[in-house]
Amino acid sequence: MTFPPLDVDFAHLADFDSGIGGTTADLVGMRSALVQMIDRPPPVDGVAVGQARVGAGPEVTIETFTPEAEGPRPAILWFHGGGFVVGSAGMDADRLQRWSRQFRCFAGSVEYRLAPEHPYPAAHRDGVAALEWLIASADELALDVGRIVVAGASAGGGLAAGVALAARDRGIRLAGQLLFYPMLDDRQVTASSQWPTAVWSRDSNEFGWRSYLGTVDTREIADYAAPSRATLLDDLPPTMILVGGSDAFVDEDIDYAARLAHAGVATDLRVYAGAPHGFDLLVPESITSCTAADDAERWLEKVLGRP
């Protein structure tokens, strides 16, 4: 099978696999190990770090990053990656602290429930509850509700896309959605989904989707669960999608971006040649990762406004 080779900066990842795809019991150890691996960034001047607990039955925890800047301020609601089965809200604290300071915005990372213990629609409902809390708390948090962006990486990008669809259907106008290599399509029918990719394999992808969708009949999978299945993409907010050219998700992400554009949605797409899944987290110092970070931040500046 022919597929794009990895860029030299990522060549050492050729044999790296996430290891996700065994049994539910295996996930317990993986989740614990991942939490231990996360290096909490040092405090950043001008950004207060905290937590909020929202909703009722069950409660959703949100890690919060609040700038000292006066309001009304924009907001970013973030969803972490992990194939729907691992990961935590603290994974992206460094990124969110930086964005909070740079754009003088409130940022919140959602500790959504993980599959397979909590299959769809648990994580989606947690995301919608977090967005509704953000809007309801606008006065308390000094937010400009007209400048809220939903964002996420991998499975979190898929969750952000599902929340954006739900927000539109509820009459909530978002300022944008920022999707890093989003996990959008459970069907695995694209050419790239068949590649023997590094980092996130076909087996891992099948396990993640199977865990998340649970016993849902394939004929009843909702757009909110697998946004690539959505046929109506009109009236969604301005969108940016970033994905590696050697990522199994590249075809579904390109297709989603094209269909958004055809529906009249202002859409920016960036495909980074030779980059695997999660490239910016695994090799953040590479030229490609730095370019992707700059691209995302320029887009955020355009959508949220120059501080």
**Model confidence band, residue 279 (pLDDT cutoffs 50, 70, 90):** very high
Q: What per-residue confidence (pLDDT) applies to 31?
A: 82
| Residue 223 vs residues 20, 73, 252: alpha-carbon distances, Å | 25, 31, 14
In this predicted structure, what is the pLDDT of residue 38? 66
pLDDT over 70 at 104, yes or no: yes
Where does the pLDDT of residue 301 fall: very low under 50, low under 70, confident under 90, or very high at 90 and above?
very high
Q: What is the mean pLDDT of residues 87-109?
A: 96
The pLDDT assigned to 247 comes to 98
CA–CA distance from 292 to each of 137, 270, 280 (Å)?
32, 8, 8
Main-chain phi, psi angles of 197, to 5 degrees: -75, 155
**Which three-class secondary structure string do you get for 19-36?**
CCCCCHHHHHHHHHHHHH
pLDDT at 122 over 90: yes
8-304 CATH, one of 3.20.20.140, 3.40.50.1820, 3.30.950.10, 3.90.550.10: 3.40.50.1820
| Neighbour order of strands in the sheet with 239-244 | 47-54, 60-67, 106-111, 73-79, 143-153, 176-180, 239-244, 267-272
Average pLDDT over residues 157-163: 98
Confidence band for 22, pLDDT divided at 50, 70 and 90: low
For residue 256, pLDDT over 80 is answered with yes
Of 80, 277, 280, 289, the catalytic one is 277
CA distance linking residue 258 with residue 16, whole number of Å: 30
- Kindly tell me if the per-residue pLDDT of 18 is higher than 90: no
Average pLDDT of span 219-232: 93
**Residues of 187-212 as b/e, b for ≥16 C-beta within 10 angstroms?**
eeebebbebebbbbbeebbebbbbbb
The pLDDT value recorded for residue 200 is 95
Count of CB atoms situated within 10 Å of the CB of 46: 13
Mean pLDDT of 10-24: 85
Give 32's pLDDT tier (boundaries 50, 70, 90): confident
CA 273/CA 129 separation, integer angstroms = 37
| pLDDT score of 37 | 63
Q: What percent of the chain shows pLDDT beyond 90?
A: 84
**Mean pLDDT over each residue of the chain, to the nearest integer:** 94
Ranking 36-50, 84-98, 216-230 by mean pLDDT, the lowest is 36-50
What is the band of 70 on the pLDDT scale with cuts at 50, 70, 90? confident
Reported residue count of the chain is: 307
CA distance 164 to 169: 9
pLDDT of residue 161 exceeding 90: yes
Q: Where are the domains of the chain?
A: 8-304
Please calculate the CA angle 150-67-240 and round it to the nearest 5 degrees. Answer: 25
Q: What does pTM read for this prediction?
A: 0.96
Reply yes or no on whether 277 is catalytic: yes
Bridge partner residues of 75 (DSSP):
106, 148
Q: Is 154 a catalytic residue?
A: yes
Q: Are 277 and 249 in contact (CB under 8 A)?
A: yes
Which SS3 state, helix, strand or coil, does residue 276 take? Answer: coil
Closest by CA to 272, choosing from 305, 238, 300, 296, is: 296
Question: Out of 247, 253, 268, 280, which one is annotated catalytic?
Answer: 247
Q: Which residues pair with 76 in a beta bridge?
A: 107, 149
Per-residue confidence at 43, pLDDT binned at 50, 70, 90?
confident
* pLDDT tens profile 52-62: 999 877 899 99
pLDDT band at residue 41, thresholds of 50, 70 and 90?
A: confident
Which of 1-10, 174-183, 184-193 has the least mean pLDDT? 1-10
| Catalytically annotated residue among 100, 109, 154, 204 | 154
Q: How confident is the model at residue 28 (pLDDT cuts 50, 70, 90)?
A: confident
- What is the structure's pLDDT at 216? 82
CA 146 to chain centre: 21
